[in-house]
Amino acid sequence: MSDWLPSLITETPAEGYDLAVKLARVAVKMTQPEAEIRERLRAEYAEDAERLIEASQVVATHFATVAAANNYWR
Ligand code: HEM
């Protein structure tokens, strides 16, 4: 997992949002390296509105960082 994040700079806000989702997911993968366990837990959070909202919040935090790094694509 060394060179998976070469830059925070993206062409468009939509690409920046994709990067924010990736940042969130990579943290989960680093924290729980066992794919089998992640797959089991996926089934739980995928059907729990509160946990989906929490996941959205994590993405929103990363998106704020990515947007700032890109000077809000101005
Ligand atoms: C799938 C985001 C937390 C395990 C997905 C997908 C997204 C996503 C967008 C759909 C991928 C697709 O269908 O193309 C996130 C975000 C998280 C989060 C933003 C937290 C902030 C977790 C956690 C686990 C998990 C805590 C389990 C420990 C999985 C698995 C899949 C999945 C196994 C299905 C496999 C895959 O499509 O790659 N997640 N997730 N995720 N997530 Fe999460």
ipTM of model: 0.92
Nearest to 22 by CA among 36, 8, 38, 37: 8
Q: Ligand 1 mean position to 42 CA, how many Å?
A: 6
pLDDT at 1 over 90: no
Q: Is 34's pLDDT higher than 80?
A: yes
Average pLDDT value for residue range 4-16: 97
Q: How far apart are CA 61 and CA 20, in angstroms?
A: 8
Residue 34 domain-assigned? yes
25 Cβ contact partners less than 8 Å away, ≥ 6 residues apart: none
Sole residue written with tokens 């996941």: 55
Question: 74: part of which helix (H) or strand (E)?
Answer: none
The pLDDT of residue 2 is: 73
Residue 65 covered by a domain: yes
Write out residues with Cβ below 6 Å of ligand 1.
Answer: 21, 24-25, 28, 32, 38-39, 41-42, 45, 55, 58-59
Residue 21 counted as domain residue: yes
Ligand 1 midpoint to CA 43 (Å): 10
Number of domains in the chain: 1
